[in-house]
Amino acid sequence: MPIVANSGLPSFERFRREGGDVLTRDRAESQDIRELHIGLMNNMPDAALEATERQFLRLIGGCNRIAQFYVYPFSPASVARGPEARAHIDAFYHDFDQLKTEGLDALIVTGANPVCEELSDEAFWQPMCETLDWARENVTSTLCACLATHGAFQHFHGVRRQPLPEKRWGVYPHRVVMEHPLVRGINTRFDVPHSRWNDISASTMRSQSQQVLVESEEAGVHLAASEDGIRFVYFQGHPEYDSFTLLKEYKREVNRYLAAEIEDYPPFPANYFMADMKDRLDAFRAKAQEARSGGIDCPPFPEAEIVVDNTWGDTGKIIFNNWLGAIYQLTNRDRRQPFMPGVDPNDPLASIF
């Protein structure tokens, strides 16, 4: 299913070079094919802004139904940005007020890097709540990623996320615990990366009449859906992560240790590195600890030498395919007409749910 390069966003070209199916706007408009219009509220910090675009583009572009995808990234103006990220947003991102006027079929709300103890004190909080409120009334389905899930539960249900005793960080086995169109055709057991300090439990989600679809004994809930099955989709895990995302997070923590920003050398992300890779990283750890204690330069982190297995990517693509396939069936709009929401909140979501 092709993505339409509806702007000069560099992530479109990078996805094309990776082998993704990308159409120019002119070519897309010359074809009589259904369109799906997807908003991407990108709340991630500057360092992860473009990587997050690419990760979600890959999941969207990996779907196989016959449609053209138009993706519209936007970011709250209230979130402080450095000059490079601000220039990127100004050049390639869309105005949310204009998107509200034109409408969206689907919306993805990313996580964020919280800096305050209370979510309601974050710079992204108010625009995120306003976006979620608008989406509930005007968008067929909204997918909330990680912290956005916690924000949605607090905003809509008054449920606050609970701090974990330590960071939940790594790749964990999960099991499908409820039959649902979103998990149709996937393995009943599969892996998912997590990277978070807070949690909303399965029992808490169910107490709010939300449907828990996938969970882990070690990592908790990965995937859940709203009571109607589609209006909101919630991830606590990260199916969008690239193979090396956790490696880059680990490298960042090692560099923080070397800069004396943290006292303890970071542990390995759980279930992520293979045994021989752990040996290489343990060898580097010895050098890093010696360098810090002796006040000497440390050799570069051996990122290029590390190989990891991706045990979650295919399942993430299938779930996204199921999600966008459901939206495709629930929307019925001529591509030449203004965007229109496709689901009545009181409708039992047609025959697919």
Task: Look at residue 279 and tell me if it is in a domain.
Answer: yes
Task: Look at residue 347 and tell me if it is in a domain.
Answer: no
**Cβ atoms of residues 106 and 324 within 8 Å:** yes
Distance CA 62, CA 352 (A): 21
Catalytic: 298?
no
Angle of the 125-138 helix axis to the 147-157 helix axis, nearest 10: 70
- Tracing tokens 């989600």 back to the chain, one arrives at 205
Could you tell me if 169 and 207 lie in one domain? Answer: yes
Q: Which CATH number characterizes residue 62's domain?
A: 3.40.50.880
Catalytic: 240?
yes
Q: Which of 122, 238, 249, 253 is catalytic?
A: 238
Task: Look at residue 104 and tell me if it is in a domain.
Answer: yes
Catalytic: 144?
no
Could you tell me if 198 and 294 lie in one domain? Answer: no
Task: Look at residue 353 and tell me if it is in a domain.
Answer: no
- CA distances to 124, 195, 261 from 76, rounded to whole Å, are 7, 23, 29
Q: What is the pLDDT of residue 8?
A: 84
What sections of the chain are H helices per DSSP?
10-17, 25-29, 46-61, 83-92, 96-102, 125-138, 147-157, 202-207, 245-258, 275-294, 313-330
Query: How many domains does the structure of the chain reveal?
Result: 2
- Tracing tokens 């929401």 back to the chain, one arrives at 341
Q: What is the pLDDT of residue 32?
A: 57
Could you tell me if 192 and 273 lie in one domain? Answer: no
- Tracing tokens 């908790």 back to the chain, one arrives at 220
Could you tell me if 234 and 251 lie in one domain? Answer: no
Task: Look at residue 34 and tell me if it is in a domain.
Answer: yes
Distance CA 205, CA 196 (A): 17
Could you tell me if 198 and 281 lie in one domain? Answer: no
Could you tell me if 317 and 291 lie in one domain? Answer: no
Give the Cα-Cα-Cα angle 92, 246, 266 (nearest 5 degrees).
130
Q: Which of 35, 50, 215, 240 is catalytic?
A: 240
Last residue of a domain, one of 262, 285, 305: 305
**How would you classify residue 225: left for phi > 0, otherwise alpha for psi between -120 and 50, otherwise beta?**
beta
- Partners of residue 212 on adjacent β-strands: 224
Could you tell me if 197 and 262 lie in one domain? Answer: no
Looking at residue 17, its amino acid is R
Q: Pull the structure tokens for residue 152.
A: 């949605």
**Cβ atoms of residues 108 and 232 within 8 Å:** no
- Host H or E run for residue 187: none
Could you tell me if 195 and 261 lie in one domain? Answer: no
Could you tell me if 231 and 250 lie in one domain? Answer: no
**Cβ atoms of residues 4 and 36 within 8 Å:** no
Looking at residue 106, its amino acid is A
Q: Pull the structure tokens for residue 225.
A: 């859906």
Distance CA 147, CA 109 (A): 9
Q: What is the pLDDT of residue 328?
A: 87
Q: Which of 146, 150, 194, 215 is catalytic?
A: 146
Q: What is the pLDDT of residue 292?
A: 96
Domain, as residue range, for 228: 3-242+311-337
Distance CA 259, CA 4 (A): 43
Q: What is the pLDDT of residue 13?
A: 82
Q: Which of 291, 353, 299, 296 is nearest to 325 (CA)?
A: 353
Task: Look at residue 348 and tell me if it is in a domain.
Answer: no
- Tracing tokens 């978070």 back to the chain, one arrives at 196
Low-confidence ranges of the chain (pLDDT < 50): 334-343, 345-348, 350-351
Could you tell me if 270 and 159 lie in one domain? Answer: no
Distance CA 43, CA 207 (A): 28
Task: Look at residue 44 and tell me if it is in a domain.
Answer: yes
Could you tell me if 55 and 204 lie in one domain? Answer: yes
Could you tell me if 177 and 279 lie in one domain? Answer: no
- Partners of residue 234 on adjacent β-strands: 144, 224
Angle of the 46-61 helix axis to the 313-330 helix axis, nearest 10: 70
Task: Look at residue 346 and tell me if it is in a domain.
Answer: no
**Burial of 62 (C-beta count, 10 Å sphere; 0-12/13-18/19+):** middle
Q: What is the pLDDT of residue 22?
A: 74
Q: What is the pTM of this model?
A: 0.88
